[in-house]
Amino acid sequence: MKLVHQDHDEHIETAAQHLSYGERNAFALILFMYQVLREKPGLAVLDDPVSSFDKTKKFAILNELFRGKASLRDTTVLMLTHDIEPAIDVIRGVKRLFQHPKPTAYFLASKAGVVSEVEIREENIQTFAQICSDNIHELDDEVIKCIYLRRHFEIINDLGAEYNYLANLLHARDVPILKSAVGDIAMNAEQIMNAEAGIKKFIPAFDYSAVIAAIKDKAEMKRRFTEATVGYDKIQLFRIFKEVHGSANGEQDSILQKFVNESFHIENEYVMQLNPHKFDNVPEYVVLECDRAILAS
């Protein structure tokens, strides 16, 4: 096979010097596809083939690999990836393009040496707004519910009384404040009443004093963290715990805190995603480090 530039007749002898890293990867994938078509194995395995590409190129490569007569559409293919975007495309986003045969997707997680597998169905792929709504109504922990409700107001760009009241709560402020051009101003009784009325539309039993008491109780926050079974919840509780109760472990915990704060903001990743309460994507080593830091505090 010879590589020929579209603007020249002669073939290119040293392709490696003319193609970018991504172009070489894409070219290798297509060559692999033709190798599979020639050899006709019972199973072809693609190990994280498109994660390094941007969104447009990811879809273009999937389209080339799995659509059309000269493609892998009639071959059994296992594609492994840590990137949710291909699953979003083939299971929900543009599923009509990948129906013959119909693909399936599974979420794999390893904890304590045990690998679990959960099928990703179309209804599992949601907007972050849907995820917030589901978790606000379905979860029991009031602190976690308040975190999701604050995120709900944030993503709909409603940064009014309810959002500010919840922000004060999660920062453990006994006297809720509003930030203004002239400094911090205490919320008045009417503002607090309106904020609580808005919050109770989502959390009917909401009680500012009860939740802030739990947040300021170090032992109680440790208990909630320990009993949380979902990595994403542990991360949220860890953030609050470290802000309110500090750390005795200095720089090591500061590095962990910075890493946690800059990672696992699922609402910043994709428009469509998986609910972390059903598909826990926080790596086990991160949760174990948070465990260590919390228990040492």
Residues 167 and 28 in one domain: no
CB of 39 closer than 8 Å to CB of 69? no
Average pLDDT, the chain: 85
- In tens, the pLDDT along 42-56 reads 999 999 888 778 777
Cα–Cα distance, 183 to 172 (Å, whole number): 19
Q: Which of 104, 138, 161 is the last residue of a domain?
A: 104
Co-location of 69 and 216 in the same domain: no
Higher-pLDDT residue of 68, 129: 129
Q: 223 and 146, same structural domain?
A: yes
How much of the chain, in percent, has pLDDT values that exceed 90? 41
For residue 228 the two structure tokens come to: 């949380």
Condensed to tens digits (0 to 9), the pLDDT of residues 8-27 reads 666 666 656 667 777 788 88
How would residue 101 be classed by pLDDT, with cut points 50, 70 and 90? confident
Q: Are residues 95 and 198 in the same domain?
A: no
Chain center to CA of 137: 20
Note whether 67 and 167 are same-domain residues.
no
Domain boundary among 37, 69, 104: 104
Tell me how far apart the terminal alpha carbons of the chain are, to the nearest angstrom. Answer: 63
Q: Write down which residue in 51, 73, 104 finishes a domain.
A: 104
Residue 118 falls within a domain, yes or no?
A: no
* Contact yes or no for 141/153 (Cβ under 8 A): no
Rounded Cα distance between 68 and 92, Å, is 20
Residue 58 sits in the same domain as residue 98 = yes
CA of residue 157 relative to chain centroid, distance: 20
pLDDT on residue 85: 84
**Signed CA dihedral, 240, 241, 243, 244: sign only:** positive
Q: Which of 152-161, 200-209, 238-247, 256-265 has the largest mean confidence?
A: 200-209
- What is the residue type of 187? M
74 pLDDT band (50/70/90 cuts)? confident
- Look up residue 62 and give its two tokens: 């999937």
Task: Report yes or no on 117 lying in a domain.
Answer: no
Burial zone of 121 (CB within 10 Å; 0-12 exposed, 13-18 middle, 19+ buried): exposed
C-alpha torsion 237→166→173→185, nearest 10 = 150
So what's the pLDDT on residue 208?
Answer: 96
153 and 276 fall within a common domain: yes
Question: What does the block give as tokens for 63?
Answer: 């389209």
The Cα–Cα gap between 296 and 245 comes to 12
User: What is the mean pLDDT of the segment spanning 268-289?
Assistant: 82
Contact 77, 49 (CB under 8 A): no
Q: What angle do CA 255, 171, 157 make, to 5 degrees?
A: 100
Give a yes or no: residue 221 inside a domain: yes
Asked if residue 137 and residue 233 are part of one domain, the reply reads yes
pLDDT in tens, 149-179: 999 998 888 888 999 999 999 999 999 998 8
- Whether residue 252 is predicted with pLDDT greater than 60 in this model: the reply is no
176, part of any domain: yes
Distances (CA, A) of 61 to 17, 55, 71, 105, 154: 22, 10, 11, 18, 35
Return the pLDDT at 61.
85
- Does 10 map to a domain? no
In a domain, 183, yes or no: yes
Token representation of residue 187:
């919320």
Q: How does residue 245 score in pLDDT terms, banded at 50, 70 and 90?
A: confident
Instruction: Note whether 64 and 147 are same-domain residues.
Output: no
Of 54-58, 110-114, 245-249, give the lowest mean pLDDT range: 245-249
Is 119 among the domain residues? no
pLDDT reported for residue 164: 94
Write down the pTM of the prediction. 0.80
Q: How many CB atoms lie within 10 A of CB 106?
A: 10
Instruction: Give 260 or 253, the one with higher predicted confidence.
Output: 260
In a domain, 9, yes or no: no
Tell whether 172 and 275 lie within a shared domain: yes
- Same-domain check for residues 75 and 196: no
Could you tell me if 230 and 287 lie in one domain? Answer: yes
The whole-number average pLDDT for the span 117-132 is 91
* Number of folded domains that form the chain: 2
Give the 3-state secondary structure percentages of the chain, helix then strand then coil, rounded to 5.
Answer: 55, 10, 35
The 3-state DSSP class for residue 77 equals strand
- How does DSSP classify residue 108? E
Domain span at 145: 127-296
